Amino acid sequence: WLLANKISELVPEDERRRSKISSLESCHDKDLNDDERSLFMCFSKATFASVYKVLFCSLNDTIKNVLSLQAIERGKLQHDECFAFWKVAASSFCLLTLLIRVKELRNASVLLTAAREGRSFLQSFVVKSSFMYLLSDESRFARYGAEASAILKTVQIGNRSLQNISAHAKSTKCTSLLKLLPQLRATSEQFIRTVHQLMI
């Protein structure tokens, strides 16, 4: 909820509309009154890089711990539940990567986080992935295939956003970012190949 309804407000409206990113559920926290619900003083340009890193790292930690292939193979996670979680994860990833297009928020720290954590997300999505497991069997593909297409498109929007880091790194000659580009590019290409093989 926090990511979709508060952080996403930082993404320009036309960008959100173009990327078909819609808000998730509204907040129903009984501990928040009407005044408190609208106040998030910790979100500012000064704190954004730290908030961004925490959110992106938390997303990847959740995928590794909750949406692991082992969790679904051992029956700890039901197929429908796993698919629903991946829908939220894909939207969260897309929103986080769209934020690097907001010039006022973009700095070296944010881009470094996006490059590292974005690559980690893409790798978790295609390598020993519970999402790919759901589509690897003919009967499961028949059940989830149509909706999975929308998830794949959402992740691809995020993947394209990550490619913008390359232009920024080259124009600013940021050494730390330039070092991360080869691995990011390789993982991006791996994602595209895996999706292509899955859909043919």
Q: Is residue 65 situated within a structural domain?
A: yes
Report yes or no on 32 lying in a domain: no
> What's the CA gap between 148 and 3, in Å, rounded?
22
165 within a domain of the structure (yes/no): yes
Number of domains in the chain: 1
Whether residue 159 lies inside any domain: the answer is yes
pTM of the model: 0.81
In a domain, 29, yes or no: no
Residues whose CB falls within 8 Å of the CB of residue 170, separated by 6 or more in sequence, listed in order: 178
Quick one: which of 52, 33, 38, 34 has its CA closest to 6?
38
Nearest to 140 by CA among 66, 59, 60, 86: 86
Q: Is residue 157 part of a domain?
A: yes
Domain extent at residue 96: 1-23+43-199
Q: Distance between CA 182 and CA 139 in Å, rounded? A: 37
Whether 31 is in a domain gets the answer no
**Tokens 């297409």 map to which residue?**
149
Local confidence pLDDT in tens for the 200 residues of the chain: 455 556 666 666 676 665 555 444 444 455 445 544 455 556 667 788 998 999 999 999 999 999 999 998 888 889 999 999 999 999 999 989 988 888 888 889 999 999 999 999 999 999 999 999 998 888 888 899 888 999 999 999 999 999 989 888 888 888 999 999 999 999 999 999 998 888 76
Q: Are 93 and 31 in contact (CB under 8 A)?
A: no
In a domain, 35, yes or no: no
